[in-house]
């Protein structure tokens, strides 16, 4: 039996495996040398005679290989020491604090979004950046239904974004419909294409599902490029009507927004209106998603995400569950696409490439699949971070790549990971036997 006053035995720190770390670093440096010897080690120039000349750049190649060796050595030493274990344990310890902090962060972010046009009224750049961030937050929340709640990996989400944008542009130009009529129609058309995508992938999972959805996104983009008689092909659609404030346009006419409210005309009024419009659409997406999570369909999505076989064995119709997830996510993507079209006034197939889907998926995964707050924080950090590093254009993607790898290593479930059930069973109060007997008598 241990003595109570005896101090606890301290765990001995693990010994550093320096030889193994050096071996990993040397292997990484050798691979880097093989990859970059042609891309960075050689430079092609056109000489005075017009012939192509190849000149070596050993200094740059040696610098890159040395950086890879040093970085890999540092990572290997950290992984073989107690630092990594202690850091992982500390991260797991502060996870409940993150969840408690979210109760205050969400209202703070909402208040900041509501006050942003007032605080930055004269700063057009901040307002445009806020509109861009809110657009990606809405796209992330829409994709979060498919990926985060239903567990269906979708790499072609930009297709629904494109369907919503082109639906609004074509309906507004050809039929003269206003934004408020085209908005629900664009969402309905995007939801229809979401169901059309859902039928072929009902039996697919994992990587196969990702490949098919990726192909679907590329099919939509190529159709838009080649169907020139309908979509104007690669030239895009210009002159898309701007939104109005219930019929009052944002111009200096007598029937404009400024004259209606007795204000001096200012182009910033339209930007502020667009800011609050996308904020309202994003909050609508968030509200509907939170309400659906508490309904039977939301619980079916979560059951499908955890285990499809068990979900089917419980009697849940997995076909309808997948189709509703694709349809709801696509509908919000269509709403965002219609807003993008009316904000830009011009759309082209180049705006709906695969990188847009990858960026939205990265926002969902890094923020935390299933977490609404995590998606908002990740969109704010990634989109705002891209703008912050704009002056370092050559190193911007490198910095964000390192940040994404670090997050996936230390927090594989995202910044704010929540996989807790949406509905809990209430604890039944056990009535004592003597009270039951007295009630019977």
Please state, as a whole number, how many other Cβ atoms lie within 10 Å of the Cβ of residue 26. Answer: 13
Element (H, E) at 347: strand 346-347
| Residue with more model confidence, 57 or 192 | 192
Q: How far apart are CA 63 and CA 379, in angstroms?
A: 34
Pick from 382, 383, 281: nearest CA to 340: 281
DSSP string, 386-426: HHHTGGGHHHHHHHHHHHHHHHHHH-TT-SS-----S--PP
Q: How far apart are CA 388 and CA 390, in angstroms?
A: 6
In this structure, what are the phi and psi dihedrals at residue 53, rounded to the nearest 5 degrees?
-115, 145
Q: Which of 50-64, 182-196, 278-292, 424-438 comes out lowest in average pLDDT?
A: 424-438
Residue pair 331/197 in contact by the 8 Å Cβ criterion: no
Query: Where exactly are the structural domains of the chain?
Result: 18-44+55-84, 101-410
Residue pair 170/393 in contact by the 8 Å Cβ criterion: no
Question: What is the pTM for the complete model shown?
Answer: 0.76
Q: What is the structure's pLDDT at 330?
A: 92
Q: How far apart are CA 217 and CA 320, in angstroms?
A: 22
Pick from 189, 211, 195: nearest CA to 146: 195
Residue pair 329/143 in contact by the 8 Å Cβ criterion: yes
Q: For the segment 20-79, what is each residue's pLDDT rounded down to a tens digit?
A: 788 888 888 888 888 777 777 777 776 666 677 777 878 888 888 888 888 888 877 776
| Residue with more model confidence, 95 or 337 | 337
Q: For the segment 303-312, what is each residue's pLDDT rounded down to a tens digit?
A: 888 888 888 8
Residue in this structure with the two tokens 């209606």, named with its chain if needed: 260
Q: Compute the mean pLDDT over every residue in the chain, rounded to the nearest whole number.
A: 80
Q: What is the structure's pLDDT at 11?
A: 46
Pick from 272, 275, 286: nearest CA to 138: 286
Element (H, E) at 56: strand 52-56
Q: What is the structure's pLDDT at 70?
A: 87
State what percent of residues in the chain have pLDDT above 90: 16
Q: What is the structure's pLDDT at 266?
A: 79
Q: What is the structure's pLDDT at 8?
A: 45
Confidence band for 98, pLDDT divided at 50, 70 and 90? low
Q: For the segment 354-379, what is each residue's pLDDT rounded down to a tens digit?
A: 888 888 988 888 888 888 888 888 88
| Residue with more model confidence, 150 or 99 | 150
Q: Is 152 exposed, middle or buried (0-12, 13-18, 19+ CB in 10 A)?
A: buried
């Amino acid at each position: 039996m241990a003595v109570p006053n005896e101090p606890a035995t301290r765990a001995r720190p693990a010994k550093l495996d320096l030889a193994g770390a050096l071996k990993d670093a040397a292997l990484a440096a050798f691979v880097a040398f093989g990859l970059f010897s042609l891309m960075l080690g050689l430079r092609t120039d056109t000489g005075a005679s017009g012939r192509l000349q190849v000149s070596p750049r050993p200094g740059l190649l040696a610098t890159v290989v040395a950086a890879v060796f040093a970085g890999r050595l540092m990572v290997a030493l950290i992984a073989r020491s107690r630092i990594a274990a202690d850091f992982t344990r500390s991260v797991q310890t502060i996870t409940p604090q993150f969840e408690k902090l979210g109760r205050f962060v969400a209202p703070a972010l909402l208040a900041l979004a509501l006050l942003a046009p007032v605080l930055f009224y004269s700063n057009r750049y901040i307002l445009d950046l806020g509109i861009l961030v809110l657009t990606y937050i809405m796209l992330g929340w829409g994709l979060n239904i498919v990926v985060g709640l239903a567990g269906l990996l979708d790499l072609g989400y930009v297709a629904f974004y494109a369907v919503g944008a082109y639906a609004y542009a074509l309906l507004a130009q050809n039929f003269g419909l206003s934004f408020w009529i085209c908005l629900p129609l664009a969402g309905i058309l995007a939801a229809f294409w979401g169901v059309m995508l859902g039928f072929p992938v009902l039996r697919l999972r994992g990587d196969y599902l990702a490949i098919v959805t990726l192909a679907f996104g590329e099919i939509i983009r190529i159709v838009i490029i080649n169907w020139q008689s309908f979509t104007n092909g690669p030239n895009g659609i210009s002159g898309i009507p701007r939104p109005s404030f219930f019929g009052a346009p944002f111009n200096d006419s007598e029937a404009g927004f400024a004259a209606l409210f007795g204000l001096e005309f200012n182009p910033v009024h339209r930007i502020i209106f667009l800011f609050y419009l996308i904020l309202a659409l994003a909050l609508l997406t968030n509200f509907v998603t939170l309400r659906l999570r508490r309904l039977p369909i939301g619980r079916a999505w979560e059951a499908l995400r955890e285990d499809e076989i068990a979900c089917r064995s419980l009697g849940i119709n997995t076909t309808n569950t997948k189709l509703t997830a694709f349809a709801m996510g696509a509908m919000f993507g269509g709403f965002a696409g219609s807003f993008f079209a009316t904000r830009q006034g011009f759309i082209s197939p180049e705006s709906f490439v695969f990188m847009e889907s990858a960026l939205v998926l990265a926002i969902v995964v890094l923020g935390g699949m299933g977490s609404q707050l995590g998606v908002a924080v990740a969109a704010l950090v990634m989109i705002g971070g891209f703008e912050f590093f704009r002056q370092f254009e050559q190193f911007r993607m490198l910095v964000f790549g390192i940040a994404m790898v670090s997050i996936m290593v230390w927090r594989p479930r995202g910044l704010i990971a929540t996989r807790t059930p949406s509905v809990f069973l209430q604890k039944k109060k056990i009535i004592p036997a003597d009270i039951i007997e007295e009630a019977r008598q």
